[in-house]
């Protein structure tokens, strides 16, 4: 039960920080997307039991990044939203390169962290490649769908954010799972089904916060 409580708390915390970034402006929101994207790539290798299933614990960060991206497109335009995708990827590659250089240092006899860094950062190249393919494909789908839903639901920010996120995260989950986690996690089927279910729950929990965004930007 403790993991489930942490999950709900994590969702509220991430959504709260996204709204805080919106309040600070476009630069903070872009930075928030990038940080959440990098954080998800690191934490996705940790496996936990959530609602009785074996899953990773990075889904909320991805949903937070998507929520922030939708707010960027809503309030600052598609051009900045598209640029944010590439900024996120650039920073992820930068972190990847720096992390792999870090691993090449030979530890001295007093170091106790090298094995931990290897376990966490050793899989990062594969994770970043998988994340890039999944993120780029799903985010461009999101940009396309959000533009369509914005015309259909012109007065309903809640619905266009909800529908766009549900569809693009289905693609993201499948693509990332096959490329990044096949042979790494214990139960890939659980990851597919439960990860998407967890994302749906996180989406339902974070989307109402979009309604608060209108008050935040006033």
List of residues 6+ apart from 72 with CB closer than 8 A: 26, 29, 30, 33, 80, 81, 84
Instruction: Give the DSSP H/E element, type plus range, for residue 56.
Output: strand 53-56
pLDDT tens digits for range 96-143:
899 999 999 999 999 999 998 888 888 778 777 887 788 778 777 877
Coil, strand, or helix at residue 54? strand
DSSP-assigned beta bridge partners for residue 54: 49
Start-to-end CA distance of the chain, whole Å, equals 39
* Tokens matching residue 203: 């989406």
pTM: 0.76
User: Residues 21-43: pLDDT tens digits?
Assistant: 998 999 999 999 999 989 988 88
Domains detected in the chain: 2-96+124-216 (1.10.1760)
Tell me the H-state helices in 51-207.
59-76, 78-104, 114-121, 124-152, 157-176, 188-206
């Amino acid at each position: 039960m403790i993991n489930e409580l942490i999950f709900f708390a994590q969702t509220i915390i991430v959504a709260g920080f996204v709204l805080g970034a919106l309040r600070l402006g476009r630069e903070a929101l872009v930075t928030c997307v990038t940080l959440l994207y990098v954080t998800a790539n690191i934490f996705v290798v940790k496996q936990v039991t959530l609602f009785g299933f074996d899953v990773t614990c990075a889904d909320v960060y991805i949903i937070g990044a998507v929520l922030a991206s939708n707010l960027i497109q809503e309030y600052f335009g598609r051009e900045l939203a598209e640029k944010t995708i590439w900024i996120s990827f650039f920073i992820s590659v930068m972190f990847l390169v720096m992390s792999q250089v870090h691993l090449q240092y030979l530890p001295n006899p007093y170091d106790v962290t090298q094995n931990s860094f290897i376990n966490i950062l050793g899989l990062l190249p594969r994770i970043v490649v998988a994340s890039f393919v999944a993120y780029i494909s799903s985010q461009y789908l999101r940009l396309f769908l959000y533009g369509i839903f914005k015309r259909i639901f012109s007065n309903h920010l809640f619905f266009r954010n909800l529908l766009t996120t549900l569809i693009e995260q289905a693609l993201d989950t499948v693509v990332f799972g096959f490329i990044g986690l096949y042979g790494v996690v214990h139960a890939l089927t659980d990851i597919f089904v439960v990860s998407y279910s967890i994302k749906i729950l996180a989406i339902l929990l974070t989307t109402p916060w979009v309604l608060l965004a209108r008050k935040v930007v006033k």
